[in-house]
Amino acid sequence: MKAAILKEKKLPLTIEQLPDPTPGAGEVVVQVLAVPILAYTHEVFSGERDYPLLLPLAPGVSAIGLIEKTGPDATRLAPGQLVFCDPTVRSRDDVLSPDIMLQGWIAPTEGAQKLQSHFRHGSFAERMLLPMENAYSLEQLRSFNPTKLVWINTMLVPYGGLLAADLQPGQTILVNGATGHFGSAGIAVALAMGAARVIAPGRNEQMLNTLVRTFGPRVRPVLISEQEEDLNKRLREAADGPIDCLLDILGPMRSTTLTRSGIMALRPGGTAVLMGGIDMPVELPYKYMMRNNLVVRGQYVCPRHAPLLLAALIGSGQINLEPFAVQTFPLEQVNQAVEYARDHGGPFQLTVLTPTQR
């Protein structure tokens, strides 16, 4: 099979021939149809984001594909089925605290690198080997273009946070990072889950207006400035009622003001879920948190059942993929695709690699 190989960081990927993978027990081989290329992929390949990887390897995080072969213990998956390939690979020998890697993307611990040594390659290839439990049937979405379905990978990140927040129909949620790639997708998912209002703070007025045009009046934009004062009060005013939960999915930032203000804007008993890229402490008042019964928790990606629930929301029409654009590149143009993704990584934009055609 052909694959795009990262031999060393700071070097371009090269197209090479690799042996076709063979599945063992608990494994499947998938013919890769479409792969997302995240906007910061170039930072991973250059070493600017120091992701631990066992090189050389074919990178690539998640895919839409067709089952080609299954291990001998498969009972439901069969060749020809359309599937989403979940990159979140968990070790099977410790259910309480498994080692976790994102296949083809990051293996941050010794145990995760042991996983990567077996499930070596990601989805920048014509075929990939993955654990059987990481292949989710999308047969109900056969009528969709596989390149559009790649958006599932983006949406699963905020969806994991919304599930962790226990968002209920009729509630109000605040999304920090609403004008970003993952945050804007999170708005679509929150509305599909029945959110009455989504509070969307941001500094880009044009993008805030785009969110309202795209999703309607349930989105309440809040334009903020660099020297914002009493931001949590403005967030509450925009909600016109209690804010039940916060999804904080900000990118790398040097300020915790928006995160802290979002937590402080929650109603008593509210929940804040942290999923973003802030790499510094967030100071919170102990007594205020205690007296208002606030919950602050982290969430890494999503639980195992999330892909099936998200696929159902898309199949039922609750999530409309029409506003979410894709730009496709063949495998041979992988380096051009990475550059394109770097320059086109905002809301409603996704660069997609197509190693094989259906």
- Enumerate the domain spans of the chain: 2-144+321-354, 156-298
CATH of range 156-298; options 3.40.50.720, 3.40.605.10, 3.30.200.20, 2.40.50.140: 3.40.50.720
Q: Tell which residue, 137, 67, 56, 48, has the closest CA to residue 104.
A: 56
Measure the CA–CA gap between 97 and 93, rounded to whole angstroms.
Answer: 9
Low-confidence ranges of the chain (pLDDT < 70): 226-228
Q: What is the pLDDT of residue 228?
A: 63
Measure the CA–CA gap between 138 and 276, rounded to whole angstroms.
Answer: 28
Q: DSSP secondary structure string, 326-338?
A: EEEEEGGGHHHHH
Angle of helix 257-264 relative to helix 231-239, nearest 10 degrees?
50
Residues 303 and 281 sit within 8 Å (Cβ to Cβ): no
Residues 147 and 265 sit within 8 Å (Cβ to Cβ): no
Q: How many other CB atoms sit within 10 Å of the CB of residue 222?
A: 18
Measure the CA–CA gap between 63 and 58, rounded to whole angstroms.
Answer: 13
Q: DSSP secondary structure string, 155-192?
A: HHHHHHHHHHTT--TT-EEEEETTTSHHHHHHHHHHHH
Q: What is the pLDDT of residue 227?
A: 66
User: How is domain 2-144+321-354 classified at the CATH fold level?
Assistant: Quinone Oxidoreductase; Chain A, domain 1 (3.90.180)
Residue 36: strand, helix, or coil:
strand
Q: What is the pLDDT of residue 357?
A: 79
